[in-house]
Structure 1
Amino acid sequence: MSSLVPVIADLHREKRTDRPGLRHLLSNVGLPMDIARTRRRMNALVADMGGDGRPVLLIPGLLASEKRMGAMRLVLERGGYVARDWGMGRNLGPRLDTLEQIDRRAEMMQRETGRAVTLIGWSLGGLYAREYAKFAPARVKGVVTMGTPFSGDPRANHAWRLYEWISGFPVDMPPFACNREEKPPVPTVALWSSRDGVVLPACAAGRAGERDLAIEVDCTHMGFAAAPEGIAAVGRALASMRG
Protein backbone atom coordinates (compact mmCIF):
# COMPACT_ATOMS: atom_id res chain seq x y z
CA MET A 1 0.00 0.00 0.00
CA SER A 2 1.31 3.44 -0.93
CA SER A 3 1.76 6.17 1.64
CA LEU A 4 2.80 9.79 1.67
CA VAL A 5 6.19 10.16 3.32
CA PRO A 6 7.29 13.67 4.34
CA VAL A 7 10.56 12.62 6.00
CA ILE A 8 12.46 9.35 5.65
CA ALA A 9 15.17 9.78 8.26
CA ASP A 10 15.52 6.09 9.03
CA LEU A 11 16.51 5.26 5.47
CA HIS A 12 19.28 7.84 5.60
CA ARG A 13 21.04 6.06 8.45
CA GLU A 14 22.38 3.61 5.87
CA LYS A 15 26.08 3.79 5.00
CA ARG A 16 27.18 5.69 1.87
CA THR A 17 28.41 2.47 0.32
CA ASP A 18 25.14 0.59 0.86
CA ARG A 19 23.19 -0.64 -2.13
CA PRO A 20 19.91 -2.51 -2.47
CA GLY A 21 20.06 -6.18 -1.55
CA LEU A 22 20.30 -9.00 -4.07
CA ARG A 23 16.79 -10.29 -3.28
CA HIS A 24 15.17 -7.02 -4.33
CA LEU A 25 17.48 -6.68 -7.33
CA LEU A 26 16.45 -10.11 -8.63
CA SER A 27 12.77 -9.28 -8.15
CA ASN A 28 13.02 -7.02 -11.20
CA VAL A 29 12.79 -10.10 -13.42
CA GLY A 30 9.05 -9.95 -12.70
CA LEU A 31 8.61 -7.19 -15.30
CA PRO A 32 6.56 -9.36 -17.74
CA MET A 33 4.08 -10.07 -14.95
CA ASP A 34 3.87 -6.35 -14.15
CA ILE A 35 3.06 -5.61 -17.79
CA ALA A 36 0.40 -8.33 -17.84
CA ARG A 37 -1.22 -7.00 -14.67
CA THR A 38 -1.32 -3.49 -16.14
CA ARG A 39 -3.06 -4.78 -19.24
CA ARG A 40 -5.69 -6.51 -17.13
CA ARG A 41 -6.27 -3.38 -15.06
CA MET A 42 -6.05 -0.87 -17.91
CA ASN A 43 -9.66 0.29 -17.73
CA ALA A 44 -9.54 0.81 -13.97
CA LEU A 45 -6.25 2.71 -14.20
CA VAL A 46 -7.69 5.00 -16.89
CA ALA A 47 -10.87 5.59 -14.87
CA ASP A 48 -8.87 6.62 -11.80
CA MET A 49 -6.50 8.96 -13.65
CA GLY A 50 -8.75 12.03 -13.68
CA GLY A 51 -6.63 14.03 -16.10
CA ASP A 52 -7.21 17.74 -16.65
CA GLY A 53 -5.69 18.12 -20.11
CA ARG A 54 -2.21 19.02 -18.87
CA PRO A 55 0.72 18.15 -21.16
CA VAL A 56 3.07 15.57 -19.67
CA LEU A 57 6.45 14.59 -21.09
CA LEU A 58 7.79 11.08 -20.37
CA ILE A 59 11.56 10.55 -20.07
CA PRO A 60 12.83 6.94 -19.95
CA GLY A 61 15.61 5.51 -17.80
CA LEU A 62 19.09 4.38 -18.78
CA LEU A 63 19.06 2.10 -21.85
CA ALA A 64 15.26 2.25 -22.00
CA SER A 65 13.47 3.29 -25.16
CA GLU A 66 10.27 5.29 -25.51
CA LYS A 67 8.42 2.00 -25.98
CA ARG A 68 9.34 1.03 -22.43
CA MET A 69 6.99 3.72 -21.09
CA GLY A 70 4.25 2.98 -23.62
CA ALA A 71 1.75 1.54 -21.15
CA MET A 72 2.04 4.58 -18.90
CA ARG A 73 1.66 6.94 -21.87
CA LEU A 74 -1.46 5.08 -23.00
CA VAL A 75 -3.08 5.27 -19.55
CA LEU A 76 -2.25 8.96 -19.24
CA GLU A 77 -3.64 9.74 -22.70
CA ARG A 78 -6.86 7.81 -22.14
CA GLY A 79 -7.09 9.26 -18.64
CA GLY A 80 -7.24 12.88 -19.77
CA TYR A 81 -3.65 14.09 -20.13
CA VAL A 82 -1.73 15.11 -23.26
CA ALA A 83 1.12 12.61 -22.94
CA ARG A 84 4.16 12.60 -25.22
CA ASP A 85 7.44 10.69 -25.45
CA TRP A 86 10.64 12.67 -25.16
CA GLY A 87 11.41 12.12 -28.87
CA MET A 88 15.07 11.11 -28.43
CA GLY A 89 14.78 7.34 -28.69
CA ARG A 90 16.77 5.10 -26.38
CA ASN A 91 18.37 6.81 -23.37
CA LEU A 92 22.10 6.21 -23.77
CA GLY A 93 23.10 8.61 -21.04
CA PRO A 94 23.44 12.39 -20.90
CA ARG A 95 24.89 14.40 -23.74
CA LEU A 96 26.03 18.03 -23.96
CA ASP A 97 22.73 19.00 -25.61
CA THR A 98 20.32 16.80 -23.62
CA LEU A 99 18.61 19.71 -21.87
CA GLU A 100 18.38 21.69 -25.11
CA GLN A 101 16.72 18.74 -26.85
CA ILE A 102 14.23 18.34 -24.01
CA ASP A 103 13.59 22.08 -24.26
CA ARG A 104 12.65 21.77 -27.92
CA ARG A 105 10.16 19.04 -27.08
CA ALA A 106 8.71 20.97 -24.13
CA GLU A 107 8.41 24.14 -26.23
CA MET A 108 6.48 22.22 -28.89
CA MET A 109 4.09 20.81 -26.28
CA GLN A 110 3.62 24.22 -24.67
CA ARG A 111 2.73 25.72 -28.05
CA GLU A 112 0.35 22.82 -28.74
CA THR A 113 -1.54 23.08 -25.45
CA GLY A 114 -0.89 26.61 -24.21
CA ARG A 115 0.19 25.18 -20.85
CA ALA A 116 3.44 24.49 -19.04
CA VAL A 117 4.65 20.88 -19.18
CA THR A 118 4.85 18.35 -16.35
CA LEU A 119 7.87 16.06 -16.69
CA ILE A 120 7.72 12.43 -15.59
CA GLY A 121 11.17 10.86 -15.44
CA TRP A 122 11.99 7.27 -14.65
CA SER A 123 15.35 6.58 -12.96
CA LEU A 124 18.05 8.50 -14.90
CA GLY A 125 15.25 10.21 -16.81
CA GLY A 126 14.15 11.80 -13.55
CA LEU A 127 17.57 13.43 -13.17
CA TYR A 128 17.13 14.97 -16.62
CA ALA A 129 13.66 16.16 -15.61
CA ARG A 130 14.88 17.81 -12.42
CA GLU A 131 17.78 19.55 -14.15
CA TYR A 132 15.60 20.66 -17.05
CA ALA A 133 13.15 22.26 -14.61
CA LYS A 134 16.06 24.36 -13.30
CA PHE A 135 17.21 25.09 -16.87
CA ALA A 136 13.78 26.30 -18.11
CA PRO A 137 11.41 26.73 -15.13
CA ALA A 138 8.95 28.87 -17.09
CA ARG A 139 8.10 25.87 -19.28
CA VAL A 140 7.59 23.45 -16.38
CA LYS A 141 4.48 22.90 -14.26
CA GLY A 142 6.08 20.21 -12.10
CA VAL A 143 8.34 17.17 -11.97
CA VAL A 144 7.59 13.56 -11.02
CA THR A 145 10.56 11.24 -10.51
CA MET A 146 10.30 7.45 -10.35
CA GLY A 147 13.12 5.61 -8.59
CA THR A 148 15.50 8.46 -9.43
CA PRO A 149 18.76 8.65 -7.41
CA PHE A 150 18.79 12.41 -6.88
CA SER A 151 19.76 12.36 -3.19
CA GLY A 152 22.81 11.12 -1.31
CA ASP A 153 25.64 9.04 -2.72
CA PRO A 154 25.41 8.76 -6.55
CA ARG A 155 27.03 5.31 -6.27
CA ALA A 156 24.45 3.91 -3.84
CA ASN A 157 22.84 1.89 -6.62
CA HIS A 158 23.55 -1.03 -8.95
CA ALA A 159 23.53 1.07 -12.14
CA TRP A 160 26.33 3.60 -11.80
CA ARG A 161 29.06 1.49 -13.41
CA LEU A 162 26.78 0.72 -16.37
CA TYR A 163 25.95 4.43 -16.59
CA GLU A 164 29.64 5.36 -16.78
CA TRP A 165 30.37 2.67 -19.36
CA ILE A 166 27.43 3.67 -21.59
CA SER A 167 27.68 7.45 -21.25
CA GLY A 168 31.44 7.87 -20.93
CA PHE A 169 31.03 10.33 -18.05
CA PRO A 170 31.72 9.89 -14.31
CA VAL A 171 28.46 9.41 -12.42
CA ASP A 172 29.09 12.57 -10.41
CA MET A 173 30.18 14.69 -13.41
CA PRO A 174 27.50 14.80 -16.15
CA PRO A 175 28.20 16.89 -19.25
CA PHE A 176 25.92 19.73 -18.15
CA ALA A 177 25.56 21.74 -14.94
CA CYS A 178 23.94 19.49 -12.35
CA ASN A 179 23.22 19.75 -8.63
CA ARG A 180 21.26 16.58 -8.00
CA GLU A 181 20.09 17.41 -4.49
CA GLU A 182 18.95 20.97 -5.25
CA LYS A 183 15.17 21.06 -5.58
CA PRO A 184 13.84 22.47 -8.84
CA PRO A 185 11.84 25.72 -8.46
CA VAL A 186 8.58 23.90 -9.29
CA PRO A 187 6.44 21.31 -7.43
CA THR A 188 8.44 18.10 -7.26
CA VAL A 189 7.16 14.64 -6.29
CA ALA A 190 9.51 11.69 -5.75
CA LEU A 191 8.20 8.14 -6.11
CA TRP A 192 10.30 5.56 -4.29
CA SER A 193 10.04 1.91 -3.29
CA SER A 194 11.54 -0.19 -0.52
CA ARG A 195 11.53 -3.03 -3.11
CA ASP A 196 13.37 -0.98 -5.76
CA GLY A 197 16.37 -3.31 -5.98
CA VAL A 198 18.43 -0.99 -8.21
CA VAL A 199 18.45 2.38 -6.43
CA LEU A 200 18.74 2.74 -2.66
CA PRO A 201 15.29 3.87 -1.40
CA ALA A 202 16.72 6.84 0.51
CA CYS A 203 18.34 8.20 -2.65
CA ALA A 204 15.07 8.04 -4.60
CA ALA A 205 12.91 9.42 -1.77
CA GLY A 206 15.11 12.37 -0.98
CA ARG A 207 15.15 14.55 2.11
CA ALA A 208 12.91 17.44 3.09
CA GLY A 209 13.95 20.42 0.99
CA GLU A 210 15.14 18.27 -1.93
CA ARG A 211 11.58 17.59 -3.12
CA ASP A 212 8.11 18.69 -2.06
CA LEU A 213 6.56 15.28 -1.58
CA ALA A 214 7.69 11.64 -1.48
CA ILE A 215 5.27 8.79 -2.18
CA GLU A 216 6.12 5.18 -1.43
CA VAL A 217 5.14 2.73 -4.18
CA ASP A 218 4.92 -1.05 -3.84
CA CYS A 219 6.83 -2.03 -6.97
CA THR A 220 10.29 -2.91 -8.25
CA HIS A 221 12.57 -0.48 -10.06
CA MET A 222 11.46 -1.84 -13.42
CA GLY A 223 7.86 -1.73 -12.27
CA PHE A 224 7.72 2.05 -11.82
CA ALA A 225 6.94 2.56 -15.50
CA ALA A 226 5.06 -0.68 -16.16
CA ALA A 227 3.33 -2.03 -13.02
CA PRO A 228 -0.19 -0.81 -12.18
CA GLU A 229 1.08 0.39 -8.81
CA GLY A 230 3.69 2.61 -10.46
CA ILE A 231 1.26 4.06 -13.00
CA ALA A 232 -1.39 4.70 -10.34
CA ALA A 233 1.21 6.49 -8.20
CA VAL A 234 2.03 8.79 -11.12
CA GLY A 235 -1.67 9.65 -11.26
CA ARG A 236 -1.63 10.57 -7.56
CA ALA A 237 1.51 12.65 -8.04
CA LEU A 238 -0.09 14.56 -10.91
CA ALA A 239 -3.24 15.11 -8.86
CA SER A 240 -1.14 16.65 -6.08
CA MET A 241 0.05 19.32 -8.53
CA ARG A 242 -3.37 20.53 -9.65
CA GLY A 243 -4.13 24.19 -9.34
Structure 2
Amino acid sequence: MFFESGIDLLRVQGDVIWAGAEFTAKVFSEPYLRTMARKGDGNAPVMTLPGFTGPEVSLQPLNAFLNANGYVANSWGLGSNRGVRDMEHMETIAALLETNVQIMANKHKRKVALVGQSLGGVFARELARRCPDLIDRVITLGSPAHFGEGTKNVNAMVARVMSFYTGRAVAELLAEVEELNLDMSEPPVGVPLVSIYSRYDGIAPLSTTKIPVRYLNDVNEAPRENIEIVCSHCGMGVNPLVLLAVADRLAEDKANWVPFYPMKYAMGPARLASRFFYRPNAKPHAA
Protein backbone atom coordinates (compact mmCIF):
# COMPACT_ATOMS: atom_id res chain seq x y z
CA MET A 1 0.00 0.00 0.00
CA PHE A 2 2.79 2.43 0.96
CA PHE A 3 4.74 1.55 -2.17
CA GLU A 4 1.69 2.05 -4.40
CA SER A 5 0.92 5.41 -2.78
CA GLY A 6 4.52 6.49 -3.35
CA ILE A 7 4.31 5.55 -7.02
CA ASP A 8 1.05 7.45 -7.39
CA LEU A 9 2.59 10.52 -5.75
CA LEU A 10 5.42 10.41 -8.29
CA ARG A 11 2.85 10.07 -11.09
CA VAL A 12 1.05 13.19 -9.89
CA GLN A 13 4.30 15.15 -9.58
CA GLY A 14 5.42 14.04 -13.05
CA ASP A 15 2.06 14.97 -14.51
CA VAL A 16 2.22 18.48 -13.00
CA ILE A 17 5.77 19.03 -14.29
CA TRP A 18 4.69 17.89 -17.75
CA ALA A 19 1.75 20.29 -17.59
CA GLY A 20 4.16 23.16 -16.95
CA ALA A 21 6.05 22.25 -20.11
CA GLU A 22 2.77 22.13 -22.04
CA PHE A 23 1.86 25.62 -20.86
CA THR A 24 5.24 26.88 -22.06
CA ALA A 25 4.65 25.23 -25.43
CA LYS A 26 1.24 26.93 -25.63
CA VAL A 27 2.74 30.38 -24.99
CA PHE A 28 5.26 30.03 -27.80
CA SER A 29 2.97 28.28 -30.29
CA GLU A 30 -0.26 30.21 -29.78
CA PRO A 31 0.19 32.68 -32.68
CA TYR A 32 0.66 29.72 -35.01
CA LEU A 33 -2.22 27.82 -33.42
CA ARG A 34 -4.61 30.73 -33.84
CA THR A 35 -3.79 30.82 -37.53
CA MET A 36 -4.39 27.10 -37.94
CA ALA A 37 -7.41 26.54 -35.69
CA ARG A 38 -10.94 26.33 -37.01
CA LYS A 39 -13.00 29.39 -36.11
CA GLY A 40 -16.38 30.05 -34.58
CA ASP A 41 -18.79 32.67 -35.89
CA GLY A 42 -18.19 35.14 -33.06
CA ASN A 43 -21.37 34.26 -31.15
CA ALA A 44 -20.92 30.58 -30.29
CA PRO A 45 -21.20 30.18 -26.48
CA VAL A 46 -18.89 27.74 -24.68
CA MET A 47 -18.91 26.92 -20.98
CA THR A 48 -15.71 25.45 -19.52
CA LEU A 49 -15.77 23.34 -16.35
CA PRO A 50 -12.54 22.91 -14.31
CA GLY A 51 -11.25 19.62 -12.95
CA PHE A 52 -11.26 18.53 -9.32
CA THR A 53 -9.60 21.15 -7.04
CA GLY A 54 -9.15 23.34 -10.10
CA PRO A 55 -10.09 27.03 -9.78
CA GLU A 56 -11.89 28.72 -12.63
CA VAL A 57 -8.67 30.45 -13.65
CA SER A 58 -7.15 27.03 -14.45
CA LEU A 59 -9.07 27.01 -17.73
CA GLN A 60 -8.56 30.69 -18.49
CA PRO A 61 -5.86 29.88 -21.11
CA LEU A 62 -8.41 27.66 -22.89
CA ASN A 63 -11.08 30.36 -22.68
CA ALA A 64 -8.69 32.99 -24.01
CA PHE A 65 -7.71 30.76 -26.93
CA LEU A 66 -11.34 30.06 -27.84
CA ASN A 67 -12.36 33.71 -27.46
CA ALA A 68 -9.59 34.67 -29.88
CA ASN A 69 -10.94 32.14 -32.38
CA GLY A 70 -14.56 33.17 -32.73
CA TYR A 71 -16.16 31.67 -29.61
CA VAL A 72 -17.60 33.24 -26.48
CA ALA A 73 -16.06 31.07 -23.76
CA ASN A 74 -16.69 31.54 -20.05
CA SER A 75 -16.12 29.45 -16.95
CA TRP A 76 -18.92 27.61 -15.17
CA GLY A 77 -19.35 30.34 -12.54
CA LEU A 78 -19.20 28.06 -9.47
CA GLY A 79 -15.65 28.77 -8.36
CA SER A 80 -13.20 25.95 -7.62
CA ASN A 81 -14.35 22.40 -8.28
CA ARG A 82 -14.44 20.79 -4.83
CA GLY A 83 -15.97 17.51 -5.87
CA VAL A 84 -19.20 15.78 -4.89
CA ARG A 85 -20.23 14.61 -1.42
CA ASP A 86 -23.21 12.53 -2.52
CA MET A 87 -25.84 12.33 -5.25
CA GLU A 88 -27.95 15.00 -3.55
CA HIS A 89 -24.97 17.35 -3.77
CA MET A 90 -24.57 16.35 -7.43
CA GLU A 91 -28.18 17.37 -8.02
CA THR A 92 -27.56 20.76 -6.40
CA ILE A 93 -24.52 21.44 -8.61
CA ALA A 94 -26.44 20.33 -11.71
CA ALA A 95 -29.29 22.72 -10.88
CA LEU A 96 -26.89 25.66 -10.47
CA LEU A 97 -25.16 24.79 -13.74
CA GLU A 98 -28.47 24.50 -15.56
CA THR A 99 -29.33 28.04 -14.48
CA ASN A 100 -25.97 29.36 -15.72
CA VAL A 101 -26.32 27.52 -19.04
CA GLN A 102 -29.84 28.85 -19.49
CA ILE A 103 -28.53 32.39 -19.02
CA MET A 104 -25.81 31.83 -21.65
CA ALA A 105 -28.25 30.23 -24.08
CA ASN A 106 -30.74 33.10 -23.71
CA LYS A 107 -28.02 35.72 -24.15
CA HIS A 108 -26.67 34.22 -27.37
CA LYS A 109 -29.98 32.72 -28.54
CA ARG A 110 -28.42 29.34 -29.24
CA LYS A 111 -27.32 26.14 -27.53
CA VAL A 112 -24.18 26.08 -25.38
CA ALA A 113 -21.15 23.83 -25.93
CA LEU A 114 -19.55 22.36 -22.80
CA VAL A 115 -15.83 21.65 -22.38
CA GLY A 116 -15.01 19.93 -19.09
CA GLN A 117 -11.64 18.85 -17.74
CA SER A 118 -11.47 15.71 -15.58
CA LEU A 119 -14.32 15.85 -13.02
CA GLY A 120 -15.61 18.92 -14.86
CA GLY A 121 -16.27 16.64 -17.83
CA VAL A 122 -18.38 14.36 -15.64
CA PHE A 123 -20.48 17.37 -14.63
CA ALA A 124 -20.73 18.40 -18.29
CA ARG A 125 -22.12 15.02 -19.33
CA GLU A 126 -24.60 15.02 -16.46
CA LEU A 127 -25.71 18.53 -17.36
CA ALA A 128 -26.27 17.49 -20.98
CA ARG A 129 -28.28 14.52 -19.75
CA ARG A 130 -30.39 16.86 -17.62
CA CYS A 131 -31.09 19.55 -20.22
CA PRO A 132 -30.16 18.33 -23.74
CA ASP A 133 -32.28 21.07 -25.31
CA LEU A 134 -29.75 23.66 -24.04
CA ILE A 135 -26.52 21.84 -24.92
CA ASP A 136 -24.90 21.93 -28.36
CA ARG A 137 -22.16 19.34 -27.65
CA VAL A 138 -19.90 18.06 -24.86
CA ILE A 139 -16.10 17.74 -25.04
CA THR A 140 -14.35 16.09 -22.10
CA LEU A 141 -10.63 16.28 -21.30
CA GLY A 142 -9.28 13.31 -19.35
CA SER A 143 -12.69 12.69 -17.79
CA PRO A 144 -13.94 9.31 -16.57
CA ALA A 145 -16.38 8.32 -19.31
CA HIS A 146 -17.84 5.45 -17.35
CA PHE A 147 -17.85 4.08 -13.83
CA GLY A 148 -16.88 0.60 -12.76
CA GLU A 149 -13.85 -1.40 -11.72
CA GLY A 150 -11.44 0.85 -13.61
CA THR A 151 -12.60 3.95 -11.73
CA LYS A 152 -11.46 2.38 -8.49
CA ASN A 153 -7.92 2.50 -9.89
CA VAL A 154 -7.86 6.30 -9.95
CA ASN A 155 -4.59 7.74 -8.62
CA ALA A 156 -4.49 6.95 -4.87
CA MET A 157 -3.17 10.41 -3.95
CA VAL A 158 -6.00 12.12 -5.84
CA ALA A 159 -8.52 9.79 -4.16
CA ARG A 160 -7.17 10.84 -0.76
CA VAL A 161 -7.43 14.53 -1.59
CA MET A 162 -10.98 13.96 -2.80
CA SER A 163 -11.87 12.23 0.45
CA PHE A 164 -10.41 15.19 2.36
CA TYR A 165 -12.46 17.72 0.38
CA THR A 166 -15.75 15.82 0.34
CA GLY A 167 -15.58 13.76 3.51
CA ARG A 168 -16.42 10.68 1.44
CA ALA A 169 -14.23 7.94 0.07
CA VAL A 170 -14.38 7.46 -3.70
CA ALA A 171 -15.52 3.88 -3.15
CA GLU A 172 -18.45 5.10 -1.02
CA LEU A 173 -19.64 7.47 -3.72
CA LEU A 174 -19.40 4.74 -6.36
CA ALA A 175 -21.35 2.40 -4.09
CA GLU A 176 -24.10 5.03 -3.84
CA VAL A 177 -24.23 5.32 -7.62
CA GLU A 178 -24.53 1.53 -7.94
CA GLU A 179 -27.20 1.38 -5.22
CA LEU A 180 -29.33 3.94 -7.06
CA ASN A 181 -28.83 1.89 -10.24
CA LEU A 182 -27.63 4.96 -12.14
CA ASP A 183 -25.89 4.41 -15.48
CA MET A 184 -23.61 7.44 -15.50
CA SER A 185 -21.60 5.92 -18.33
CA GLU A 186 -24.39 6.30 -20.88
CA PRO A 187 -23.85 9.37 -23.10
CA PRO A 188 -26.48 12.12 -23.05
CA VAL A 189 -29.24 11.46 -25.58
CA GLY A 190 -29.08 13.51 -28.76
CA VAL A 191 -25.96 15.47 -27.77
CA PRO A 192 -22.62 14.98 -29.58
CA LEU A 193 -19.95 13.72 -27.17
CA VAL A 194 -16.17 13.84 -27.69
CA SER A 195 -13.69 12.34 -25.24
CA ILE A 196 -10.10 13.58 -25.45
CA TYR A 197 -7.77 11.42 -23.39
CA SER A 198 -4.16 10.26 -22.96
CA ARG A 199 -2.73 6.83 -22.18
CA TYR A 200 0.00 8.70 -20.27
CA ASP A 201 -2.53 10.38 -17.98
CA GLY A 202 -1.08 10.40 -14.46
CA ILE A 203 -4.44 10.79 -12.73
CA ALA A 204 -7.30 9.01 -14.50
CA PRO A 205 -6.76 5.46 -15.84
CA LEU A 206 -7.07 4.90 -19.58
CA SER A 207 -9.71 2.23 -18.95
CA THR A 208 -12.19 4.91 -17.84
CA THR A 209 -11.48 7.92 -20.04
CA LYS A 210 -12.54 6.42 -23.38
CA ILE A 211 -16.18 6.32 -24.43
CA PRO A 212 -17.15 2.62 -24.32
CA VAL A 213 -17.27 0.94 -27.74
CA ARG A 214 -20.89 -0.06 -27.27
CA TYR A 215 -21.86 3.62 -27.37
CA LEU A 216 -19.57 4.53 -30.26
CA ASN A 217 -21.29 1.91 -32.41
CA ASP A 218 -24.80 3.25 -31.78
CA VAL A 219 -25.31 4.80 -35.20
CA ASN A 220 -28.81 6.00 -34.38
CA GLU A 221 -27.57 8.46 -31.81
CA ALA A 222 -25.65 11.75 -31.90
CA PRO A 223 -21.95 11.72 -32.91
CA ARG A 224 -19.59 10.21 -30.33
CA GLU A 225 -15.86 10.24 -30.71
CA ASN A 226 -12.68 9.25 -28.87
CA ILE A 227 -9.52 11.29 -29.57
CA GLU A 228 -6.24 10.08 -28.08
CA ILE A 229 -3.45 12.64 -27.66
CA VAL A 230 -0.02 12.27 -26.04
CA CYS A 231 -0.32 14.73 -23.15
CA SER A 232 -0.55 15.02 -19.38
CA HIS A 233 -3.75 15.06 -17.35
CA CYS A 234 -3.27 18.40 -15.61
CA GLY A 235 -2.09 20.14 -18.77
CA MET A 236 -4.95 19.23 -21.10
CA GLY A 237 -6.41 22.72 -20.79
CA VAL A 238 -3.19 24.30 -22.07
CA ASN A 239 -1.68 21.65 -24.35
CA PRO A 240 -1.46 23.14 -27.88
CA LEU A 241 -2.51 19.87 -29.53
CA VAL A 242 -5.54 19.56 -27.27
CA LEU A 243 -6.52 23.18 -27.96
CA LEU A 244 -6.36 22.50 -31.68
CA ALA A 245 -8.57 19.43 -31.31
CA VAL A 246 -11.09 21.25 -29.12
CA ALA A 247 -11.44 24.10 -31.62
CA ASP A 248 -11.80 21.57 -34.44
CA ARG A 249 -14.58 19.64 -32.71
CA LEU A 250 -16.42 22.81 -31.68
CA ALA A 251 -16.56 23.86 -35.33
CA GLU A 252 -17.68 20.45 -36.66
CA ASP A 253 -21.14 20.31 -38.24
CA LYS A 254 -23.36 18.04 -36.13
CA ALA A 255 -25.42 16.99 -39.12
CA ASN A 256 -22.38 16.03 -41.23
CA TRP A 257 -19.92 14.92 -38.59
CA VAL A 258 -16.47 13.90 -39.85
CA PRO A 259 -14.03 12.34 -37.34
CA PHE A 260 -11.11 14.44 -36.22
CA TYR A 261 -8.13 14.06 -38.55
CA PRO A 262 -5.04 15.92 -37.27
CA MET A 263 -2.95 15.27 -40.39
CA LYS A 264 -4.81 18.01 -42.21
CA TYR A 265 -3.06 20.52 -39.94
CA ALA A 266 0.40 19.09 -40.46
CA MET A 267 2.79 20.30 -43.13
CA GLY A 268 6.32 19.10 -43.86
CA PRO A 269 8.17 17.73 -40.81
CA ALA A 270 5.10 18.45 -38.67
CA ARG A 271 3.36 15.49 -40.31
CA LEU A 272 5.78 13.12 -38.57
CA ALA A 273 5.26 14.87 -35.23
CA SER A 274 1.49 14.66 -35.58
CA ARG A 275 1.73 10.89 -36.01
CA PHE A 276 3.59 10.69 -32.69
CA PHE A 277 1.41 13.01 -30.60
CA TYR A 278 -1.99 12.12 -32.08
CA ARG A 279 -2.91 8.46 -31.97
CA PRO A 280 -4.67 7.63 -35.29
CA ASN A 281 -8.32 6.96 -34.44
CA ALA A 282 -9.89 7.84 -37.75
CA LYS A 283 -9.27 8.83 -41.35
CA PRO A 284 -11.14 11.55 -43.20
CA HIS A 285 -14.30 10.62 -45.01
CA ALA A 286 -14.10 10.45 -48.77
CA ALA A 287 -15.16 13.64 -50.48
TM-score by length of 1: 0.84
Alpha-carbon shift at residue 237 of structure 1 (Å): 2.5
For residue 55 of structure 1, report the CA deviation from its aligned partner.
0.9
CA distance in 2, matches of 1:132, 1:241: 21
Q: Percent identity?
A: 25
Question: Counting helix residues as a fraction of each chain, which structure ranks higher?
Answer: 2
Is residue 51 from structure 1 mapped to residue 40 from structure 2 by the alignment?
Answer: yes
For the pair 1:149 / 2:153, whether they are aligned, the reply is no
Query: What is residue 171 of structure 1 aligned with on the other side?
Result: 173
Which SS does the other structure have where 2:173 is aligned?
Answer: coil
The one of the two structures with greater contact order (alpha-carbon pairs below 8 A, sep at least 6) is 1
The residue aligned with 1:200 is 205
Aligned to 1:91: 81
Q: Deviations over 1:149-207 (max 9, x none)?
A: 12243212113332233123433137x99532111111100011011111111210121
Matched, 1:230 2:242: yes
Residue 210 of structure 1 deviates from its aligned partner by 4.0
Deviations 1:43-98 (A, max 9, x none): 22222132233211000000000100010000000001110110111111133410
| Structure-1 separation of matches of 2:198 and 2:251 | 20
Distance change (3 Å), C-alpha of 1:79 and 1:167: same
Q: What value does the CA root-mean-square deviation take over the aligned residues?
A: 2.4
Residue type of the partner of 2:142?
G
From 123, 128, 149, the equivalent of 1:128 is 123
Find the counterpart in structure 2 of residue 7 from structure 1.
none
Is 1:31 the counterpart of 2:19? The answer is: yes
Secondary structure of the residue that 1:41 maps to in structure 2? Answer: helix
Contact 1:187 1:241 in 2 (8 A): no
Alignment-mate amino acid for residue 79 of structure 1? N
Alignment check: 8 A CA contact 2:192 2:254 kept: no
Match of 2:186 in 1: 182
Larger radius of gyration: 2
- Counterpart residue type for residue 90 of structure 1: S
Residue 24 of structure 1 deviates from its aligned partner by 5.2
Q: Distance in 2 between matches of 1:68 and 1:86?
A: 12
Aligned length: 224
